[in-house]
């Protein structure tokens, strides 16, 4: 399996090189900074994440450099992706990045439809939501065991429009945006998962079903809903290099208002998202250290349970799922930490170990070591009856209302193969500090985490 992952990663790099060589061949004697018009790039989508499985598909990225006077800055970037994973996730995405739609304003537009046949769900409030890995894997529990016990399905239609304008040059910017999130939530389709199995049938037990039956998740939230999100914020960005900065800061503040009259449910709320990233040089052009701190939570109103996991950043990664996994705390389970307020942080040491020229391209290989942490800062309010909930036909509890929330830690290291400073293949391997948060996580994808 690992061989196939790296074979596909090599295919990505090869196709990228081929596309670049093709562009250079058609540009004649023009210097690179005079490139103009449309540039086309299409590659396979290949990645691996132990939470979602092997990712496969295809993407196309189109760039319009206009008259070429601003190269490498572009007038338009159009991104299309179709991808699936072996654990039942799917992405169908269109994004458009341009500063020509509204002169002087950077516009980021997104339409995506994402499916999750088995989205991680462990309950709320971190330590209060007890995780029992044996219930997923113990073969002696023939009629009860369910590897999808801590899962539910989700279909998400997401439409976003974000706009940024200058306050002081490109460093200090304002942000305005609007988004629509249509969530369709249900239990995992066990019939589909059981199809073709002869030796063992998965049970229909799930913690999501238990929460719905016990009205911890209200009936009018159980199957999701659609919500319009209005946002405003500020961005301050002094990074010297976006793919792997060696100095500078990147700080953003967002305020969100989700009115009930623009939703399909009665729920409305407001929330904030504060994220600060800073980068330091240890050895010029060879070693650096980076950290990230983020605090996101509710200000007013009532937030439906299915909107709690979303984390918000500025474009291009505007939204991600909750704390835990490849994008936040590596090593612990995806969506392990869910509450009305969340804090997470990352500390990463990055060092280039070798630089070389291959196939007429500039490369470097870097290693990294990281420490990640996250915790719930605003708790979901469990009813007192939740303390009596147990795994099916057992006395093993699934909620501990007396558990104290402390930082949940993940740690590990990474390997990064970088082509021409911008194309970065990353392999991260993380360990959970506590068994209650998971075991290990392997993540193969693109780019540094932040």
Residue 272 pairs in a beta bridge with 255, 297
- Name the more confident of 70 and 347: 347
What pLDDT shows up at residue 35?
Answer: 67
Nearest to 245 by CA among 284, 293, 279, 291: 279
Chain mean position to CA 372:
15
What pLDDT shows up at residue 254?
Answer: 97
- The Cα 107–Cα 172 span in angstroms is 16
The answer to whether residue 51 sits within a structural domain is: no
In the chain, the number of structural domains is 1
State mean pLDDT over 199-215.
Answer: 85
State mean pLDDT over 380-408.
Answer: 93
Nearest to 243 by CA among 447, 10, 57, 70: 447
Mean pLDDT check: name the lowest of 94-103, 143-152, 197-206, 410-419.
Answer: 197-206
The answer to whether residue 437 sits within a structural domain is: no
Q: How many CA atoms lie within 13 A of 90 on its CB side?
A: 11
- Name the more confident of 137 and 28: 137
Look up residue 323 and give its DSSP letter: B
What angle (nearest 5°) sits at the alpha carbon of residue 112, between those of residues 106 and 118? 135
282-307 pLDDT, tens digit per residue, is 999 999 999 999 999 999 999 999 99
CATH number at residue 126: 2.40.160
The answer to whether residue 76 sits within a structural domain is: no
Q: Which residues of 5-23 are buried (b: 16+ CB within 10 A; e: fewer)?
A: beebbeebbeebbebbeee
Q: Evaluate if residue 22 carries a pLDDT over 60.
A: no
Q: How confident is the model at residue 266 (pLDDT cuts 50, 70, 90)?
A: very high
Mean pLDDT check: name the lowest of 52-56, 192-196, 236-240, 426-430.
Answer: 192-196
Rounded to two decimals, the pTM is 0.87
The answer to whether residue 184 sits within a structural domain is: yes
- The Cα 325–Cα 388 span in angstroms is 29
State mean pLDDT over 252-262.
Answer: 97
Q: Which two tokens stand for residue 130?
A: 């007890």
State mean pLDDT over 30-42.
Answer: 64
The answer to whether residue 381 sits within a structural domain is: yes
Q: How confident is the model at residue 3 (pLDDT cuts 50, 70, 90)?
A: very low
Run of H or E including 209 = helix 207-213
Report helix, strand or coil for 43.
strand
Q: Evaluate if residue 1 carries a pLDDT over 60.
A: no
The answer to whether residue 320 sits within a structural domain is: yes
Q: How confident is the model at residue 201 (pLDDT cuts 50, 70, 90)?
A: low
Report helix, strand or coil for 270.
strand
Q: How confident is the model at residue 199 (pLDDT cuts 50, 70, 90)?
A: low
State mean pLDDT over 89-100.
Answer: 93
Q: Evaluate if residue 115 carries a pLDDT over 80.
A: yes
Q: Which two tokens stand for residue 59?
A: 């993407």
Q: What region, left, alpha or beta, does residue 144 occupy, with left being phi > 0 and alpha being psi -120 to 50 degrees?
A: alpha
What pLDDT shows up at residue 42?
Answer: 67
268-286 pLDDT, tens digit per residue, is 999 999 999 999 999 999 9
State mean pLDDT over 193-198.
Answer: 72
State mean pLDDT over 58-67.
Answer: 85
Q: How confident is the model at residue 4 (pLDDT cuts 50, 70, 90)?
A: very low
Q: How confident is the model at residue 21 (pLDDT cuts 50, 70, 90)?
A: very low
- Name the more confident of 373 and 362: 373
Q: How confident is the model at residue 18 (pLDDT cuts 50, 70, 90)?
A: very low
Q: What region, left, alpha or beta, does residue 264 occupy, with left being phi > 0 and alpha being psi -120 to 50 degrees?
A: alpha
**Sign (positive/negative) of CA torsion 443, 272, 346, 418?**
positive
State the SS3 of 210-235: HHHHCCCCCCCCCCEEEEEEEEEEEE
What pLDDT shows up at residue 198?
Answer: 61
Q: Evaluate if residue 314 carries a pLDDT over 80.
A: yes
The answer to whether residue 93 sits within a structural domain is: yes
The answer to whether residue 296 sits within a structural domain is: yes
By the 10 Å C-beta count (0-12 exposed, 13-18 middle, 19+ buried), 168 is classed as exposed
What pLDDT shows up at residue 33?
Answer: 45
Query: Structural domain of residue 159, as residue ranges?
Result: 88-349+368-409
148-165 pLDDT, tens digit per residue, is 899 999 999 999 999 999
What pLDDT shows up at residue 393?
Answer: 82
């Amino acid at each position: 399996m690992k061989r196939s992952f790296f074979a596909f990663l090599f295919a990505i790099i090869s196709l990228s090189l081929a596309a670049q060589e093709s562009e250079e061949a058609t540009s004649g004697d023009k210097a690179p900074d005079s490139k103009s018009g449309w540039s086309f790039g299409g590659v396979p989508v290949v990645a691996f994440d132990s939470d979602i499985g092997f990712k496969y598909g295809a993407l196309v990225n189109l760039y319009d450099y206009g008259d070429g006077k601003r190269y490498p800055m572009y007038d338009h970037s159009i991104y299309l992706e179709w991808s699936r994973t072996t654990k039942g996730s799917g992405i169908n995405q269109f994004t458009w990045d341009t500063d020509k739609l509204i002169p002087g304003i950077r516009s980021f537009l997104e339409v995506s439809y994402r499916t999750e046949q088995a989205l991680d769900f462990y309950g709320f409030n971190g330590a209060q939501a007890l995780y029992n890995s044996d219930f997923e894997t113990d073969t002696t529990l023939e009629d009860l065991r369910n590897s999808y016990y801590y899962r539910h399905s989700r279909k998400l239609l997401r439409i976003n429009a974000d706009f940024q304008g200058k306050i002081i040059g490109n460093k200090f910017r304002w942000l305005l945006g609007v988004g629509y999130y249509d969530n369709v939530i249900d239990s995992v389709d066990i019939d589909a998962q059981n199809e073709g199995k002869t030796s063992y049938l998965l049970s229909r037990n799930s913690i999501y079903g238990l929460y719905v039956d016990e009205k911890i998740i209200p009936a009018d939230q159980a199957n999701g809903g659609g919500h319009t999100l209005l946002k405003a914020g500020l961005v301050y960005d002094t990074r010297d290099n976006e793919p792997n900065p060696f100095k500078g800061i990147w700080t953003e503040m967002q305020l969100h208002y989700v009115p009930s009259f623009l939703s399909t449910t009665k729920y409305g709320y407001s929330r904030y998202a504060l994220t600060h990233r800073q980068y330091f040089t240890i050895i010029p052009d060879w070693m650096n250290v980076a950290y990230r701190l983020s605090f996101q939570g509710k200000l007013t109103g009532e937030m439906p349970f299915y909107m709690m996991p979303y984390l918000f950043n500025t474009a291009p990664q505007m939204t991600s799922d909750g704390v835990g996994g490849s994008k936040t705390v590596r090593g612990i389970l995806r969506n392990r930490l869910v509450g009305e307020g969340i804090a997470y942080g990352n500390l990463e040491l990055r060092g280039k170990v070798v630089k070389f020229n291959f196939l007429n391209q500039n490369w470097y290989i870097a290693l990294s070591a990281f420490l990640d942490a996250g915790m719930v800062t605003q708790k979901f309010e469990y009813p007192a009856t939740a303390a009596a909930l147990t795994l099916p036909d057992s006395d093993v509890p699934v909620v501990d209302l007396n558990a104290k929330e402390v930082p949940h830690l993940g740690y590990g290291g990474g390997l990064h193969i970088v082509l021409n400073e911008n194309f970065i293949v990353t392999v991260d391997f993380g360990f959970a500090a506590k068994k209650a948060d998971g075991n290990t996580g392997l993540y193969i994808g693109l780019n540094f985490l932040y």
